[in-house]
Structure 1
């Protein structure tokens, strides 16, 4: 193999790529195939759950080598022998085929490098991020209620422990009007916790950003941060050669 081909293969190896780029490539591929109503097939090797991919013939041989009861081996073997599977999509069942390794699981979504890939595009991921952020906010309740802690310290904790959870891989989201409203509502909850503003204070959600501005000065809201990061990533992809630019 010549040097040029070797360098090309090394560059295309996923293990040498940024996590962000891998998520971006997968999301864009899914978006494009959905747009053109075409099927898309991905192959992943999940070493963490390799027990689902055990070669059956080798499994029976190994059990016999360890002198496991023959009746027990036959009982387990009967669970797997002649097992068949089929894909199910849009109320249609595909062709049946024999399963000789592991089992086939049908799922509507899966997590890839910390990001959720689902049929609903980015909505499932955004809602999951909102839930995770809200949970992190609640776990730090004692900090937000601490009257002796400086507001500047609370702000740093909010940015590093709460906002960072929500903003993970936000560069690749498709944000629609309904999800924008959910993001804004979640941010208002965060600001209320930060400034110790409860609903019993009768301060409207529209007034909370103004109180935040007065307390900590100019700051960037979450939606603006998401849009800025999306533009920054787009510029990075268009300037850099490689698979991400080709997919885009």
Structure 2
């Protein structure tokens, strides 16, 4: 029978078109769409500082009060073929039922009114009836929204919403339905003083500040704090139902996590796709979830186990990420809906939009040129990528700053080391110069002079030069020359030169006696210093060569050295 009912329902849906104000049991529609439409409408009126009056109508025993003759009439009026009407009549013919109670079961009795309870065809048949009954009184969505027998009537003024409520009551009750006076409630958004209340046939309708619409709590002030608390309570109720499984130590953490994701989490996430959660409210949900997971795994806060480890053990992600995931999934579902193909979103400045609204309210025709713009970049740029790029930039800045500081520190240390080295070299040079033995040659001193052979005019007789004396013709080390190079300490002293007689001196008459020069040992790294003055004697025959008194320190053909 169930299969046959589903076959009939599928064929009826192909030929019957239900109004867009009906959200119940319709394809590609759910309670989320109705809740979102109501929340958006309330939010827009709060932003505009305008009053919005809402009446939530409830029908008494809606399924059980539908007259059978009214059902056949609505089916024929909706365009259902007569053969399908006869098929449904055959299902309801001679229907009998019993009532179970505490003392037993009653006898069977005939059911001649209402729809079958538990039938797969009943929800769609009720939608057909409501579509035909409300054809004359319903307004466009979201001013009128229906979810099966739950009806919302909205208006900008209290008088208008009261008038619409009376019209609905008359249209429904004249066809066999009845409006519940006790469950019908009235709520005013952005209420001002003295707004009054709504009456139904002279009876005052209950006025509330919050209403539980399709399982989601809607508040007149636009807050969602109570909705979050109710979601937490619903999660705990679901957790208690399966606590026998979640608290069993013999069951693995993976199975517990799967049961939690299947039973508990849907109750906590219901309707949150339409709510803008703050950080504090999101934290309340995550704290409640972590308490459930800790109880399920037998872990307390004294164990000092991190939350990430608990989530990883149970294979349960963060609740805030799951809320955003369900919100995006529902948004994609809305985008793929066939009925939204002609919907165009126009983004205009606020002041310009107010002008257009005023013109439309005055029934003035407004012609607009719509240009397709670029899509929102937030859809293509993920928050993870932005965070990664920001962190990378900060790390590079820190590395560059560290390298710059290190470079200047090294440069400062190198400059200090160079200054210390120069001071040390200067002190060593002064000490070496102070230890030199200097001897002064007086004019006419024949005993300590050595007459040298004729030298070239361009020869610089500086200490450390290469010995080019034609008489010597050897590689003997000269005064002040220790390693074949010039010694700086001796060069600074210098040696006097004296002019010789104009007569040439021959090699046969010149006898030279020299003692071998020994360098002074030094352990320093600057230069090896020698006491080049006064460390050898020269014997000169007086009959063959003489040094002229009054010699100068300039260039000459002959020189006398000490």
| TM-score relative to the length of structure 1 | 0.67
Instruction: Tell me which residue corresponds to 2:138.
Output: none
Q: How does 1:1-248 map to 2 (within 5 A)?
A: 10-15=19-24, 16=26, 17-48=29-60, 92-95=193-196, 100-118=201-219, 119-199=221-301, 201-203=302-304, 207-213=306-312, 215-217=313-315, 219-240=316-337, 241-242=339-340
Contact 2:272 2:323 (8 Å CA) reproduced:
yes
The CA distance in 1 between the partners of 2:328 and 2:224, in whole Å, is 17
Q: CA deviation at 1:174?
A: 0.8
CA-atom RMSD in angstroms: 3.4
Deviation string, structure 1 residues 4-49 (Cα, Å, up to 9, x no partner): xxx9872343343422211111111112212222212334320148
Compared with structure 1, are the counterparts of its residues 99 and 181 closer, same or farther at alpha carbon in structure 2 (3 Å cutoff)? same
Contact 1:195 1:212 (8 Å CA) reproduced:
no
Q: CA deviation at 1:179?
A: 0.4
The CA distance in 1 between the partners of 2:17 and 2:294, in whole Å, is 51
* Secondary structure of 1:92 counterpart: coil
The CA distance in 2 between the partners of 1:110 and 1:38, in whole Å, is 20
The CA distance in 2 between the partners of 1:27 and 1:94, in whole Å, is 21
The CA distance in 2 between the partners of 1:110 and 1:30, in whole Å, is 13
Greater fraction helix: 1
Q: CA deviation at 1:92?
A: 2.4
Instruction: Tell me which residue corresponds to 2:147.
Output: none
Contact 2:31 2:214 (8 Å CA) reproduced:
yes
Deviation string, structure 1 residues 117-156 (Cα, Å, up to 9, x no partner): 1134322211210122123324543333211223333222
Compared with structure 1, are the counterparts of its residues 26 and 246 closer, same or farther at alpha carbon in structure 2 (3 Å cutoff)? farther
* Secondary structure of 2:217 counterpart: strand
The CA distance in 1 between the partners of 2:231 and 2:198, in whole Å, is 37
Compared with structure 1, are the counterparts of its residues 184 and 113 closer, same or farther at alpha carbon in structure 2 (3 Å cutoff)? same
The CA distance in 2 between the partners of 1:198 and 1:123, in whole Å, is 28
The CA distance in 2 between the partners of 1:220 and 1:33, in whole Å, is 36
Unaligned runs of 5+ in 1: 1-6, 56-86
Deviation string, structure 1 residues 186-213 (Cα, Å, up to 9, x no partner): 12112212321123x3325xx0222331
Compared with structure 1, are the counterparts of its residues 8 and 121 closer, same or farther at alpha carbon in structure 2 (3 Å cutoff)? farther
Compared with structure 1, are the counterparts of its residues 37 and 9 closer, same or farther at alpha carbon in structure 2 (3 Å cutoff)? farther
Structure scoring higher RCO (CA < 8 A, sep ≥ 6) equals: 1
The CA distance in 1 between the partners of 2:263 and 2:198, in whole Å, is 47
Structure (1 or 2) with the larger CA radius of gyration: 2
Deviation string, structure 1 residues 44-65 (Cα, Å, up to 9, x no partner): 3201489xx9x9xxxxxxxxxx
Unaligned runs of 5+ in 2: 1-15, 63-165, 170-187, 347-562
